Amino acid sequence: MSQVTLSASMSRELGSRNSRRLRTSGSIPGVVYGPGVATLSISVDAKAFRLAVSGEQGLNSLIELDAEGKKYLVMAREIQKHPVRGTVSHIDFQVVDPNSTVIAEVPLHVIGDAVEVRHADWEVDQQLFSLEIRTRPDKIPTHIDVDISGLKVGGAIRVADVVLPEGVEPAGDHAISVVTTRAGRIAKTAGGPENAAV
């Protein structure tokens, strides 16, 4: 996993008025926090931040934050956005240890063809579109594939069934359904079971 460098200013003044002034000038206020690090108030250039998280890893990108000569390995965590414009208004950067596990959320991509389900005029219903995982920062995948090729009528794929890369494990409930099946319109008309597996 590659990492990007992002420069930060430590000279920002606190207060909502100063934060608005920063945003108007093209900067985003934020904080840096983490084990063994006193919370720092910083600001970063908005365009530079967008570029830093524009790669495949998105918000899971590993960032070397250069705060006026002091460097921190961080990930963008809590991101606040303007309720109307949708622009980023504040960022929390978490300092991470490259050798310790972190929790990250990655998208789930359904792949394959559930032939048996399709031939029975049933439908595949994706319940979960992202998954919280626990792994080292350099092992966070860009996405996780969920293969539905072997799915049966009335069946389901749960978190525990998803094949994860080496060194990656689910961070939440393993029993949650990722994909279920349900009777399609034709199957319902024919009087087949109507309830999907849960």
Other Cβ atoms within 10 Å of 114 Cβ, number: 23
Contact between 80 and 86 (Cβ < 8 Å): no
Amino acid (1-letter code) at residue 10: M
**Percentage above 90 pLDDT, the chain:** 59
172 or 188: whose pLDDT is higher?
A: 172
In order of 138, 143, 160, 165, 181, the CA distances from 172 in angstroms are 20, 17, 10, 16, 22
The C-alpha atoms of residue 3 and residue 53 are separated, in whole angstroms, by 10
CATH topology of domain 3-96: Ribosomal Protein L25; Chain P (2.40.240)
Q: What is the average pLDDT score of the chain? A: 87
The C-alpha atoms of residue 77 and residue 60 are separated, in whole angstroms, by 8
Q: Does domain 103-189 have CATH number 2.60.40.10?
A: no
pLDDT the model gives residue 81: 82
Q: Does the global pTM surpass 0.85?
A: no
> Could you tell me where in the chain the CATH 2.170.120.20 domains are found?
103-189
Across 173-177, average pLDDT: 96
φ, ψ (nearest 5 deg) of residue 171: -100, -10
pLDDT the model gives residue 190: 57
Other Cβ atoms within 10 Å of 7 Cβ, number: 13
> Could you tell me where in the chain the CATH 2.40.240.10 domains are found?
3-96
Task: Kindly tell me if the per-residue pLDDT of 194 is higher than 80.
Answer: no
Other Cβ atoms within 10 Å of 1 Cβ, number: 16
- CB under 8 Å to 67, separation ≥6 — which residues? 8, 9, 10, 32, 40, 42
Reference 39, options 102, 96, 95; nearest CA is 95
Task: Kindly tell me if the per-residue pLDDT of 116 is higher than 80.
Answer: yes
Radius of gyration of the chain (CA): 22
Task: Kindly tell me if the per-residue pLDDT of 21 is higher than 70.
Answer: yes
Task: Kindly tell me if the per-residue pLDDT of 192 is higher than 60.
Answer: no
Task: Kindly tell me if the per-residue pLDDT of 102 is higher than 90.
Answer: yes
Q: Of 72-76, 154-158, 194-198, where does mean pLDDT reach its minimum?
A: 194-198
Task: Kindly tell me if the per-residue pLDDT of 176 is higher than 60.
Answer: yes
